Chain A
Amino acid sequence: MTDSPLQPPGGALTAAPRAPDPRLRIVRPGALKLRRGGQLDPLEVAFETWGTLDADRANAVLVCHALTGDQYVAGDNPVAGTKAWWPAMVGPGRPIDTNRFFVICANVVGGCMGSSGPVSAGADGAALGLDFPRVTIADMVEAQRALLDHLGIRRLLLVTGGSVGGMQALQWAAAHPDRVIACAPIATAARHSAQNIAFYEVGRQAIARDPDFHGGYYARLKGEVRPSAGLAVARMAAHITYLSEASLEAKFRDPGRRRLDDGLPFRPAAEIESWLDHQGRRFVSRFDACSYLYITRAADDFDLAADHGGELHRAFRDSPVRFCVSSFTSDWHYTPAQNREIARALNAAGARVSYVEIDSDKGHDAFLIDSELRDGQPFAESMRAFVQAAARGAGLA
């Protein structure tokens, strides 16, 4: 950490853990040729599973994680010391019921929780950093496909995910319609809007302009040199877009909480400021700055229509997959309009698609929030209904 007049109080930020950790479950299913050139050889995929694969291998569900997620969808992450990120959706008796389904979640390539990524060691044993090749959403999906091949799973009952995970779910259905029965993209987009790209560019610039970035090779330096201040600012900026005005207002409504001034003009003062600072700090302790660059860039690059002659519906022509697209009314990161566009394209392609727009003031993060996923809440019920109908349609009891 260099001394900076903007360094928040509370001491130095801690650096991300370095993979691999013996507690991670990692397979090496051959090499993976990448969409934008180059390859991952060997490809490493870190994953976790819950539930039991049935004798017919017909009850597999793949959950795709979002930008800063990991494979610990339904169980706590022992490496980062964080909680399961979607326990209200995936677990015993939950909409994706681990008593019935075999749930798989893999760290995306480009990530930093055990799968091939910029923290992976190169030939010289040092972290690759920016020597890691560019990866795309399609590459993330092909890595998951290689994992399924390795596990002997031919067909997924369901592929689902929110946000960047929703992009992967869409890519799965477009690239492998014969291997997916049902697809539930949530709060996502078939391509980034200029606004989406703009916000992530702010984050990337904050990282790249951190004096500790060292051209992306910080992990090769002696000591724990990390562009943590830049990564924290990136997280803070992005985090704002994951919440709605109403949810922030509700959290920090009390006017007394707005002034905690210590007299310095740049220290976090109002509670919203110290809360953001906390979000940033918490994030850098578990995430790698280069991974953030790679995955945001992959999300910015994603354009399912462009991959199919400029027409999104062509990505799903004659698709046998059943879809359920969900969005949230107050989501301004991936708006209902962006999700509706996906549903309309699926409709135009003649696919079996449902579109559910959940009335919520929780913003983009609504899909992760327990209160939206309690039994009886519309989002929980539509997901439960969709998963059950898919299982019924596939002949599972």
Chain B
Amino acid sequence: MSGLRADLAAIAELVPAGARVLDVGCGDGRLLEHLERVRGVEGRGLELSIAGVNACVARGLPVVQGDADRDLAFYPDDAFDLAILSDTIQATQNPRAVLTHLLRIAPRAAVSFPNFGHWRVRWSLVARGRMPVSDALPASWWETRNIHLCTSNDFLDLAEACGGRIGTALVVAGGKVRGPFDPANPLARGLANLTGEHAVFLVERRAR
């Protein structure tokens, strides 16, 4: 699909047409541009790097240079229909505060992250006794920006703690989207946690 990375393609499938969307950590704006063009969304971005911001501005996308830990607090309640956090939550200082803000800003949040429960990660730790380096986790431990890695099962607990429930649960493995799976089913949940390189969740705000 349109050359998007598999986890971004999976997120794109979760976005309703015409929605107001905030993409937190939008990078060079590839996903937002795709969503504006194909889904007719009203998109906004938040991005830390100047290179990413300028790439977005060049695409004509509205993007604010800032970071998720500091700047989400300034977005009003329900300003958006959907918030996207792709491959970013593991790099935030306070993932719980970030997800809580996302569910305040929008009733739904699409979140993807590298799954630390994947069997290859476990193998690297158990058999080799070393931190994993893989396609999903390409940087060595001393230079990674990832400071809050978690497994797909861990995230389910966080979503619960932040007042959310899982609407759709997907994983990405071998460049393909698998699922949806039922996170309430222990077997499906365990299998997804073992086989997913990336996890992709649509988290819905429970009634306040």
Give the B-binding residues of A (Cβ under 8 A). 322-324, 340, 343-344, 347-348, 350-359, 378, 381-382, 385-386, 388-390, 392-393
Q: Which residue in B65, B74, B79 is a CB contact (below 8 Å) of A356?
A: B65
Given that A354-B53, A359-B50, A382-B53 are known contacts, is A347 also in contact with B74, CB under 8 Å in the complex?
yes
Instruction: Name the A residues within 8 Å of B58 (CB-CB).
Output: 381, 385, 388-389
Residue of A nearest to B58 (CB): A385
Cα distance, A358 to B57, chains bound together (Å): 14
Residue of B nearest to A381 (CB): B54
Knowing that A353-B62, A355-B63, A385-B58 touch, tell me 19 more A-B residue pairs with CB under 8 angstroms.
Answer: A324-B57, A344-B74, A347-B79, A348-B74, A348-B79, A352-B44, A354-B53, A354-B61, A354-B62, A354-B64, A355-B66, A356-B53, A357-B66, A358-B50, A359-B50, A381-B54, A389-B59, A390-B60, A393-B60
Instruction: Name the B residues within 8 Å of A381 (CB-CB).
Output: 54, 58
Instruction: Name the A residues within 8 Å of B65 (CB-CB).
Output: 355-357
The A-contacting residues of B in range 53-92, CB under 8 angstroms, are: 53-54, 56-66, 74-76, 79
Instruction: Name the B residues within 8 Å of A385 (CB-CB).
Output: 54, 57-58
The minimal Cβ–Cβ distance linking A122 to chain B, given in whole angstroms, is: 48
Instruction: Name the A residues within 8 Å of B53 (CB-CB).
Output: 354, 356, 382
Instruction: Name the A residues within 8 Å of B54 (CB-CB).
Output: 356, 378, 381-382, 385
B-side interface residues, number (CB < 8 Å): 19
Instruction: Name the A residues within 8 Å of B66 (CB-CB).
Output: 340, 355, 357
Residue of A nearest to B74 (CB): A344
Instruction: Name the B residues within 8 Å of A344 (CB-CB).
Output: 74
Instruction: Name the B residues within 8 Å of A340 (CB-CB).
Output: 66
A352 near B79 with CB under 8 A, answer no
The minimal Cβ–Cβ distance linking A125 to chain B, given in whole angstroms, is: 51
Instruction: Name the A residues within 8 Å of B50 (CB-CB).
Output: 356-359, 378, 382
Residue of A nearest to B43 (CB): A352
Instruction: Name the A residues within 8 Å of B59 (CB-CB).
Output: 389
Can you name 8 A-B pairs with beta carbons within 8 Å? A323-B62, A324-B57, A344-B74, A347-B74, A350-B79, A354-B56, A355-B66, A357-B50
Residue of A nearest to B55 (CB): A385
Instruction: Name the A residues within 8 Å of B61 (CB-CB).
Output: 354
Cα distance, A238 to B120, chains bound together (Å): 61
The A-contacting residues of B in range 5-59, CB under 8 angstroms, are: 44, 50, 53-54, 56-59
The minimal Cβ–Cβ distance linking B187 to chain A, given in whole angstroms, is: 44
The minimal Cβ–Cβ distance linking A352 to chain B, given in whole angstroms, is: 4
The minimal Cβ–Cβ distance linking B101 to chain A, given in whole angstroms, is: 14
B60 near A343 with CB under 8 A, answer no
The minimal Cβ–Cβ distance linking B17 to chain A, given in whole angstroms, is: 19
A355 near B64 with CB under 8 A, answer yes
Cα distance, A38 to B63, chains bound together (Å): 42
Cα distance, A378 to B64, chains bound together (Å): 15
Across the A-B interface, the 8 shortest Cβ-Cβ residue pairs: A389-B60, A385-B58, A352-B62, A355-B64, A385-B57, A344-B74, A382-B54, A357-B65
Cα distance, A166 to B74, chains bound together (Å): 22
The minimal Cβ–Cβ distance linking A353 to chain B, given in whole angstroms, is: 5
Given that A322-B62, A344-B74, A359-B50 are known contacts, is A386 also in contact with B79, CB under 8 Å in the complex?
no
Cα distance, A345 to B100, chains bound together (Å): 21
Instruction: Name the B residues within 8 Å of A323 (CB-CB).
Output: 62
Cα distance, A91 to B207, chains bound together (Å): 56
Most buried by B among A323, A344, A392: A344
Instruction: Name the B residues within 8 Å of A392 (CB-CB).
Output: 60
Residue of A nearest to B53 (CB): A356
The minimal Cβ–Cβ distance linking B23 to chain A, given in whole angstroms, is: 13
Instruction: Name the B residues within 8 Å of A347 (CB-CB).
Output: 44, 64, 74-75, 79
A386 near B62 with CB under 8 A, answer no
Q: Which residue in B56, B60, B76 is a CB contact (below 8 Å) of A348?
A: B76
The minimal Cβ–Cβ distance linking A179 to chain B, given in whole angstroms, is: 20
Cα distance, A356 to B54, chains bound together (Å): 8
A354 near B57 with CB under 8 A, answer yes
Most buried by B among A340, A350, A355: A355
Cα distance, A390 to B60, chains bound together (Å): 7
The minimal Cβ–Cβ distance linking A182 to chain B, given in whole angstroms, is: 10
Residue of B nearest to A393 (CB): B60
Residue of A nearest to B51 (CB): A378
A354 near B79 with CB under 8 A, answer no
Instruction: Name the B residues within 8 Å of A350 (CB-CB).
Output: 79
Instruction: Name the B residues within 8 Å of A378 (CB-CB).
Output: 50, 54
Instruction: Name the B residues within 8 Å of A386 (CB-CB).
Output: 57
Cα distance, A195 to B56, chains bound together (Å): 34
The minimal Cβ–Cβ distance linking B148 to chain A, given in whole angstroms, is: 25
Instruction: Name the B residues within 8 Å of A388 (CB-CB).
Output: 58
Residue of B nearest to A384 (CB): B58
Cα distance, A354 to B61, chains bound together (Å): 8
Cα distance, A160 to B126, chains bound together (Å): 59
Cα distance, A288 to B54, chains bound together (Å): 40
Instruction: Name the A residues within 8 Å of B76 (CB-CB).
Output: 348
